[in-house]
Structure 1
Amino acid sequence: MAECPESNGIVNNIVSEKWCGSRKSEWVRLNVGGHHFLTTRTTLCRDPKSFFFRLCQEDNNLASDKDETGAFMIDRDPTYFSPILNFLRHSKLVIDKNLAEEGILEEAEFYNITELIQLIRDKIRIRDELPQKENRKQVYRVLQCHEDELTQMVSTMSDGWKFEQLINVGSQYSYGNEDHSEFLCVVSRECDKRERETEPTDRAKVLQQKGLRM
């Protein structure tokens, strides 16, 4: 039986795909990791160098068994298979936000889909080259303390918090001849933009506004 044209260094993918589809247009069932997918030989024959192209040939040498429904059994993760199959269908890569691009790349390499491999590698490269500062933000907090508490408060700051500014807001009370000054201590920390920050309390807002007026 005639086979679909093989790659010889000058391959016309479109002609090859149409030829395979016209000769064998029946549906193909795949069992990927226990999940069934239904597609056509035309879709699977899109890349003449791929695993699927060879799978569709009657004299293929791939050791792939079939289950009770006649589906080709493939021992791979079905979670990452949908983006692979959809790319073969419409030439677009759509990735669910919960899927890692590296996981799809691994599957694309296993199935040897050359166009998809290059596309995902480019996406990963662009993602990794984005300035880290775009995903970072500076968060400020205003803390109230007494003069005798300053040293301990500054020395016990942790979790990335650092001292920015100290504002003397005067004394609101005194004992004998000694004034107990109050201070506003401004601290900051760099964090991820996706990290949720708690809203400041009403008292914290008042102290922050008071510090800005000083």
Structure 2
Amino acid sequence: MGSDRVRLNVGGKPFVTSRTTLANAGRGSMLAAMIDENWDLVSELVSEEIFIDRNPSYFSVLLDLLRTGELHIPSGMSEKALYREAEFYGITDRVRHARKGPLDGNRLECVASISGRATGDGTAIRASPDGGCCVAHGSMVHVYNWAMEEQIPLTLDYVNVNDVGFLNPNCVVICTCERGDRAGGMASFNVTSGKLVHKFQVCHDDQLKNFTAGALASSDVHLYASCRGRSYEYGIGTWDQATGQQINFLYETPGRPLGDACKLQWLPQSNLLLVATLFPRSDHSFVSLLDFRTKGKVWSWTDSCQRKSADEKIVMDAVAMEECSTVCVVNQFDNLGFIDMRNSSHPVRWSHRYRSARVSECEERCYSKLAVSGSQLFSSKNDSVYVFCSPDWDAARGVQTARLRKTEGGGAISDISVGGDSLFVLHNEINVFDVWETPGSSGIAEVL
């Protein structure tokens, strides 16, 4: 192709770089497209200057990122403006990777605290695959992109939100309650425009049914939700993400409560769905692994035979750590329990016991929530999040490696979520959520 040198003029300022550097922008970026042999301007790159009508100061920072892999933002430069420029050039992923490293619970730092945008307490927070998140407040959902810029709020006509999640960074799914003559159910929305994408419906005997959508989870192609209705619509529904069409519906059977499930989790390595029906939806806890290929249950656990009294070891949340074949649970005393997914008869092994409290007292505070990222387990307790390594069945317990707590402005934690190499922590009383990230190579450059 001739010379490796490329001459650019950005906003009137000349730049000279190489094809190799521009190729670091990655396939699909505007900068990499300029050196693609199929692009019309490629013949002009050797002898002529390519003009780009953008701010040269921001381009200089981004070009240095492509050269060194490190992001250094000059003092006084707007980070949000830099992110917008990165979006224009198609290299936001490079900026994100430089701004924060892979999630490491032992090195996390609180990088932002965002005040709530609605009256009342936030009820749920969910992470986006690209580092953004969404927060549910009653009948509203507020969505934030990876730069923590708020998108168009989603208002659901005074119907309460049960669960919310992302199909992709541009599409959010909301589960709502059926209330009187108001139809509940589930729908997806574009986070940029706020427009409806699909309404996911339940059909029984060729008739559409109103239902309450409880908890949701998604695989690469399917969407799953726990459903309960006024007649037969108790179970787990499956829909095609691309078309919104119902694919399957797995109904409840005796001993297998599905419609009241309050936690679903897709396990991509085994192609199984974790379904957990927990307090207060049920007096006893039921955790199952379902295989939708056979429409059967491949593993299950319940505390109905293990609890001696109604206020002992009530499980409040559950999550699967697929890498170590473990289901982790937490009870109303904030104690962690570990269950072997390879053996359904294996008893829960409890660890990290704290002072016991009666259930009536626990119902008045935020109970612990769990989140998982690979071999790392995150468990909230009061105003802190605790980090644990993989459970070891010989030791019968996980090992705590870190405690995450803000020095001020915290308060009781009502929900946590992990995704996009970020940990999101939602505080209840002060209606604030925090963003925790592992430091990357980015920093503020000294002005010489």
Q: Is this a same-fold pair by TM over 0.5?
A: no
More strand by share: 2
Q: TM-score range by the shorter chain?
A: 0.3 to 0.5
State the TM-score, normalizing by the size of structure 1. Answer: 0.43
More helix by share: 1
